[in-house]
Structures are given as structure tokens and as C-alpha cells.
Structure 1
Amino acid sequence: MTAEDPITATRRWLQRAVIGLNLCPFAKAVQVKDQIRYVLSEAATADALLEELAAELVWLHDTDPAVVDTTLLIHPQVLTDFHDYNDFLDQVDAAIDALGLEGEIQVASFHPDYQFAGSDFDDAANCTNRSPYPMLHLLREASVERAVEAFPDPDAIVERNIATLEKLGVEGYRRLLEP
């Protein structure tokens, strides 16, 4: 992790990696329309983060999608260990369910040390979910469904992303995110 402002680093990651490498072909539209909410969590414990997450889930649900379509909840002070972060995702799902938002909002996971099960840490495919800081990406399911319907072959996105990142390599990915 870097010492720079987490929101600045996240914006650069979004611009250079997510949009620049076209890892998510749906991200550019919401970025251009300024419909992404960046929230920097001050949470120092998983319980505090869970409270902030619940508030953000409700806020996003109650906000007009034309104003804010998605939220990036960046939490640099808590769940910095990937295994702890990964375990926390069960609590994220439980919070969505407890708030009655299942089928309305989903959360995608991003972490600087993201590692898919069964992969080596330095496998370039892990970079598809590596971000400058730990974060939870809150997405409206209706928006995801519309985006997927408009994309000719959404299953090809994963394969294309892995090929792109294998070509770039882990070191190339790291350099891409440098200030």
C-alpha cells in the first residue's frame, strides 16, 4: 500500500487499470457520467466497517441511480490481510440479506493482495481483483443486468482480462498504478 491519498490512488486505478485495460467494459459509462461515489472509511475494526457498509448499502439503495450508480467503499485501515478480508465477505452477504437488499445490491471484492483460490500469489490473473487499497464495490443489480444484456459475450470478459494481465504481468500491473 502507498502513503498517498486512497481516493486519488483508487481513481488512478480505475482510470488506468479498470477502464484503461478495459477490465470492466461497463465502468467507463458510470465514470464519464460521474456516477461513482468514492467513500473513504475511517473504520479501524471489522465491526465499524460493517456499520459503515450497512449505511452505504442503504444510502445507495435510496439514491437515484442517475445521480450515483455505484459506490467504492475504500477501507485502508481494516482488513488489510487478504484472508481476513475474504472471511469478512460472509458478513457482507449477511448484511445485504439482513437489510432486505438481496437481489437489489451486490458487492464485488477488491484487495491489494487478492488471490483466487488455488492460484499462486504472483499469478497475473489475481490482478483482475487487485486494487490499491482494500475496498468493497457496491453495485446495483439492475445496472449489472442491463450492462450484461448489452454486452455481446459477457463470459468472454474474464478470459480476455486474464489474457491481458498475463501479457502485462504482475510487475507491469504494479508499474501501471504508480503515481
Structure 2
Amino acid sequence: MPQPSHQEAIDATREWLEKAVIGLNLCPFAKGVYIKDQVRFVVSDATNAEQLAVELGRELETLAEASPDKIDTTLLIHPYVMQRFLDFNDFLEIADAIVEELQLDGELQVASFHPKFQFEGTGVNDIENYTNRSPYPTLHLIRESSIARAVESFPQAEMIYEKNIETVTRLGIEGWKALFAKASQ
């Protein structure tokens, strides 16, 4: 499979964000920051975990130092490393350690999306995994203050996970594929 250019990786991630995350309302908080152009898209050239860790640290510092009005959240897309989900999942411990090392715990956190995302206890092709499947491995750097504001304004935020599973279950795998096939026809 050919490696994507930076622009191809960003375009595919934007399409996923627009059609799945916002379009299916998988994250009711995403639309507001996206339409205000407060989402930073960064493509990493990392080809190993050490390089990705350095870039993650740099992006966490950039987000921490930026005004939330300019950058509210960052999507660190890394198409050249962590293709295996288990490697990616293991890296999340390193990501959390970097947040702590930079003394940004309580201020920023890292969420994860992956093309082969799999919740514990599910099968590889179970539809609920699609709630966290992105075109490329992606680390989502989020301000905790933004999460707190969003949760405050969204009644029953703890129900989002269950609602997302219901949404993708209704859609089904064929519906998910059709959602993205329209653009390539």
C-alpha cells in the first residue's frame, strides 16, 4: 500500500471527521471547534515510536502554549508508524507518561483513533469498533477545560459511548463503507 502524502492524510482525516465524527454526531463537541477552524491537523513523519514520542511532546507543548481560540484541539496523524493496533495501544502508555513528564496532566489529555481500533472483548470486525476507527493512526490532543465545558453543556455526556454504538450498529459495516465510498465515485 503506497504511503500517503501529508495532504492525502489530512484530507482523509477531514473527510472522516466531517462524515463520521460530526456527520454521525459521534462526538457532539467536535462540530463547534471544527467550524471555528480551531482543530490543528498535523501529519507526523515518524517511522518509529521514539520519533513519534518526540513529535507528540512538541505538539502537546504547542497546544498548551496556544490560545484556545486559535487551537482548541490537535489531531496528530501518524500514517507511517503504529500500523499494528496492539503497538499503537501500547504506545498510549508512553503518551500518558509524556503528558505527565511535561506537567500537563490535568490540562491536556490524549485520546486515540486507529483504522484497526478494537475494544477489549470485541471481534476484529464488530461494528462498535468503528466508533473509534480513523483512516490513519491518530492521537487526539484535547484540552481538559474544553472537555469540561462540553460535558457541562451536553446532558448525559456519559451516554455518548452507548449512543455511538447504537448509531454505527444501525448504519452497519456496509453503511459505514458507503458513507466514504460516495466521495471516491
TM over 0.5: same fold?
yes
CA distance in 2: counterparts of 1:91 and 1:170, whole angstroms:
32
Q: 8 Å contact 2:3–2:79 — kept in the other structure? A: no
Q: Read off the aligned partner of 1:177 and give its amino acid letter.
A: F
Q: What's the offset of the Cα at 1:169?
A: 1.2
CA distance in 2: counterparts of 1:152 and 1:167, whole angstroms:
23
Q: Which of 81, 85, 103 is equivalent to 1:82?
A: 85
Give the structure 2 partner of residue 57 of structure 1.
Answer: 60
Q: What's the offset of the Cα at 1:53?
A: 0.2
1:131 counterpart = 2:134 = yes
For structure 2, which runs of at least 5 residues remain unmatched after alignment?
A: none
Give the structure 2 partner of residue 160 of structure 1.
Answer: 163
**What is the aligned residue count?**
179
Residues 40-98 of structure 1 deviation map (CA, whole Å, 9 limit, x = unaligned): 10001110000000000000000000001000000000000000000000000000000
Q: What's the offset of the Cα at 1:30?
A: 0.3
In the superposition, the TM-score normalised over structure 2's length comes to: 0.94
Task: Summarize the Cα distance change of 1:2–1:175 in structure 2 as closer, same or farther, 3 Å threshold.
Answer: farther
Task: Summarize the Cα distance change of 1:2–1:13 in structure 2 as closer, same or farther, 3 Å threshold.
Answer: farther
Give the structure 2 partner of residue 17 of structure 1.
Answer: 20
In the superposition, the TM-score normalised over structure 1's length comes to: 0.97
Give the structure 2 partner of residue 169 of structure 1.
Answer: 172
Aligned residues: CA RMSD: 1.2
Highest relative contact order (Cα 8 Å, sep 6+), 1 or 2?
Answer: 1
Q: Larger deviation: 27-36 or 165-174?
A: 165-174
> Percent of pairs identical after alignment?
54
Q: Larger deviation: 169-178 or 76-85?
A: 169-178
CA distance in 2: counterparts of 1:54 and 1:174, whole angstroms:
34
Q: Larger deviation: 7-16 or 152-161?
A: 152-161
Give the structure 2 partner of residue 27 of structure 1.
Answer: 30
CA distance in 1: counterparts of 2:9 and 2:138, whole angstroms:
10
CA distance in 2: counterparts of 1:140 and 1:35, whole angstroms:
12
Q: Read off the aligned partner of 1:109 and give its amino acid letter.
A: S
Q: What's the offset of the Cα at 1:2?
A: 7.8
Q: Which of 23, 26, 40 is equivalent to 2:43?
A: 40
Give the structure 2 partner of residue 102 of structure 1.
Answer: 105
Q: Larger deviation: 154-163 or 44-53?
A: 154-163
Q: Read off the aligned partner of 2:23 and give its amino acid letter.
A: G
Q: 8 Å contact 2:22–2:31 — kept in the other structure? A: yes
Q: 8 Å contact 2:56–2:76 — kept in the other structure? A: yes
Residues 112-157 of structure 1 deviation map (CA, whole Å, 9 limit, x = unaligned): 0000001011111101100000000000000000000100110221
